[in-house]
Structure 1
Amino acid sequence: MLPPINALVIMGVAGCGKSSVSQAICALNGATPIEGDAFHPAENIRKMSAGIPLTDADRSGWLGILCDELRRSIDAGQPPVLSCSALKRSYRERLRSAVPGLGFVYLELTPAVAARRVAERPGHFMPTSMIDSQFATLEPPVDEPLTLVLDASRQDIPQLAAAAHHWWRQHEPD
């Protein structure tokens, strides 16, 4: 029997498709989407918009809010799917400690594809100049528990969502 997954985090660098894949998974199984970017404080948005990478301290309060949102959704009986960069292992461990049975779907992407996709997004606060800092911060979730790695460079949103949905269903709690 596979260990149960009570909630998902769709993670990766900017431009990998976190929000779109999260929404598509929720449409497949009725889960509750949580858009991580919606919970950034104004100062974080200002810094990122100006091309200034966030520090661990900048992300700390934001991660705490995301932990609360995940728990709130689970307590309400609504399995959540969080879109969140979760670039460092320490960030993922913080989320895991707040929510037992948390699964991660890592949307792996090349820097070139990420830069192209971010440049094509209208009205988003993340400038393409931030891509290098995203990859510099990224600690890929190699050998981490309850983690699925998908190639977001070669698969489209429906394929990524279907793969993640299938994997999650294999880990459904009893």
Structure 2
Amino acid sequence: MGVSGSGKTTVASLLAERLGCAFQDGDDLHPRENVEKMRSGTPLTDTDRLPWLQAIAHHIDGWRERGEAGVVTCSSLKRIYRDVIVGDRRNVALVYLKGTQALIHGRLTARTSHFMPVGLLDSQFATLQEPAEEERPIVVDIGPEPARIVDAIVRRLERR
């Protein structure tokens, strides 16, 4: 989890490769209406997000039912969103890619192939509720290169 530009897709795909498991970009599960809304610069409402969050949870439950592991990306900016995706699924780990607004702004301005405009970054940080201790998050700094971030996540997963 993390705001747009925090490196979710890059880190999660590397993590899935390292763990030898499936990868799902949560953005690909957004209803078309959500993508169009964001592309136009309009932040999503909680009502807009609910079907997307439910689709991600359904994807996770499919892996779990088949006894498979996987890594899925999702901004999960609010606790109520994480409650849908993680909830009481004790075998689901939450990883929070944490970075400063200045660092992430720089990344977003350099990115050209994503539907999320830089103008929505302020609303993402305003919405962000960092995970609480009881959510058992793995919090990692996004400053290092992606491979080092993955190393840190794997070490924390192994300790669990």
In structure 2, the residue matched to 1:7 is: none
Q: Given the alignment, which residue of 149, 152, 156 partners 1:163?
A: 152
- Where 1:103 maps in the other structure, the secondary structure is coil
Q: Is the 8 A contact 2:86 2:94 kept in 1?
A: no
- Where 1:149 maps in the other structure, the secondary structure is strand
2-structure distance, mates of 1:144, 1:31? 26
In structure 1, the residue matched to 2:95 is: 105
Matches within 5 A, 1:138-153: 138-152=128-142
Which range moves more in the overlay, 100-109 or 125-134?
Answer: 100-109
2:116 aligned with 1:121, yes or no? no
In structure 2, the residue matched to 1:133 is: 123
Q: Is the 8 A contact 2:108 2:118 kept in 1?
A: yes
- Where 1:129 maps in the other structure, the secondary structure is helix
2:41 aligned with 1:51, yes or no? yes
1-structure distance, mates of 2:50, 2:124? 17
Q: Is the 8 A contact 1:71 1:99 kept in 2?
A: no
In structure 2, the residue matched to 1:6 is: none
More strand by share: 1
Q: Is the 8 A contact 2:30 2:52 kept in 1?
A: yes
1-structure distance, mates of 2:29, 2:150? 23
2:28 aligned with 1:24, yes or no? no
1:74-98 CA-to-partner distances (Å, cap 9, x unmatched) read: 2222211111100001111111236
Q: Is the 8 A contact 1:102 1:146 kept in 2?
A: no
State the structure with bigger RCO (CA 8 A, min sep 6), 1 or 2: 1
2-structure distance, mates of 1:155, 1:144? 26
Q: Is the 8 A contact 2:22 2:70 kept in 1?
A: yes
2-structure distance, mates of 1:122, 1:88? 26
Q: Is the 8 A contact 2:4 2:121 kept in 1?
A: yes
Alpha-carbon shift at residue 169 of structure 1 (Å): 2.2
AA at the equivalent of 1:168? L
2-structure distance, mates of 1:81, 1:170? 18
Q: After the TM superposition, which segments of 4 or more aligned residues of structure 1 sit over 4 Å from their partners? A: none
1:31-73 CA-to-partner distances (Å, cap 9, x unmatched) read: 2111100000111000110110000000000000001000111
Alpha-carbon shift at residue 102 of structure 1 (Å): 1.7
Unaligned segments of structure 2, at least 5 residues: none
2:58 aligned with 1:68, yes or no? yes
2-structure distance, mates of 1:58, 1:100? 27
